[in-house]
Amino acid sequence: MREIEIDANSMVPRDLNRAVKEAAKEYDKIIIKNPNAMHYMVAGLTDDTEIVIDGSAGYFAGTMIDGAKIHITGNAGWFPADNMTEGEVIIDGAAGDGVGQGIYGGTVVVKRNVGSRTGEIMKNGTIIIGGNSGFMSGLFMMGGRIIVLGDISDDAGESIIRGAIYVLGEIKSLGKNAKIAEIDDEDKKELKELLPAYGFDLKDEKYDQFKKIVPRSKRPFYGSKESEEG
């Protein structure tokens, strides 16, 4: 594996992203040193390259990537992995609002707590939160899955259209068009295969404690609750 380090200490986001895209043509792994919570790091990278951000990232880390694997060893600001189409973003610390906003595929993992609107308007893919997730998580969610190992705050699954939110902890309240469904054996099988791959080792009995939030209606804005069920 060919590896290179880039020192971001004296760079602005445009210069850093240009350097990363050039390096990705030749190197399999890029380590960004001294990121200093810079915004827009690794934006729009379309190469299948491993990126290590050695520290914390600011807003929109990994926005619009397609195929890259990004590991942030610290925290991240708002909207990490925004509109990612394919790839992987792993954050060892906490993150702000809008984790995985609008993703079309790939996997986003935050080991600790996150802010509000996790997975807002996501179309597909997987988001795993190791801690708590804030209000309106899954807002206008159109597909994919969100897995929260801690608690989820107010209005969970607000106006959800498709997809599912799995919550191990407490659900403070459900949003409009959201309901709790029974978790089945297939759900548990998928969770048992997925979570240990990202370092979340749960006892078997914990998988029975997950709650599953799904859309109440396929047509949430028309008709009555009774006519729209199913």
pLDDT in tens, 91-109: 999 999 999 999 999 999 9
**What pLDDT is recorded for position 225?**
52
Question: Which residues, including other chains, have CB under 8 Å from residue 120's CB and lie 6 or more apart?
Answer: 98, 101, 102, 136, 138, 139, 140, 141
> Between the CA of residue 135 and those of 103, 130, 163, 184, what are the distances in Å?
19, 16, 18, 26
Instruction: Count other C-beta atoms under 10 Å from residue 170's C-beta.
Output: 11
Contact by Cβ (8 Å): 215, 178: yes
> Between the CA of residue 12 and those of 15, 78, 204, what are the distances in Å?
5, 18, 47
Outline where the chain has alpha helix (H): 13-24, 185-194, 204-207, 225-228
Please choose, from the candidates 117, 164, 168, 159, the residue with its C-alpha nearest in 3D space to the C-alpha of residue 140.
Answer: 159
Nearest-5° Cα angle at 147, 192 to 207: 40
pTM score of the predicted model: 0.95
**What pLDDT is recorded for position 17?**
98
Query: pLDDT tens, 40-96?
Result: 999 999 999 999 999 999 999 999 999 999 999 999 999 999 999 999 999 999 999
Residue 143, token pair as written in the block: 């597909």
Domain tally, the chain: 1
**Which amino acid is present at 54?**
D
Work out the percent of the chain whose per-residue pLDDT is above 70: 95
Question: Which residues, including other chains, have CB under 8 Å from residue 53's CB and lie 6 or more apart?
Answer: 32, 35, 41, 42, 61, 70, 71, 72, 73, 74
**What pLDDT is recorded for position 183?**
95
Residue 1 binned pLDDT confidence (cut-offs 50, 70, 90): confident
Mean pLDDT of the chain: 95
pLDDT over 70 (residue 221) = no
Helices and strands (DSSP H and E) totals, the chain: 4, 11
What CATH number is attached to the domain comprising 21?
A: 2.160.20.60
Domain containing 110: what range? Answer: 3-228
Query: pLDDT tens, 109-129?
Result: 999 999 999 999 999 999 999
> 25: phi > 0 → left, psi -120 to 50 → alpha, else beta; which?
alpha
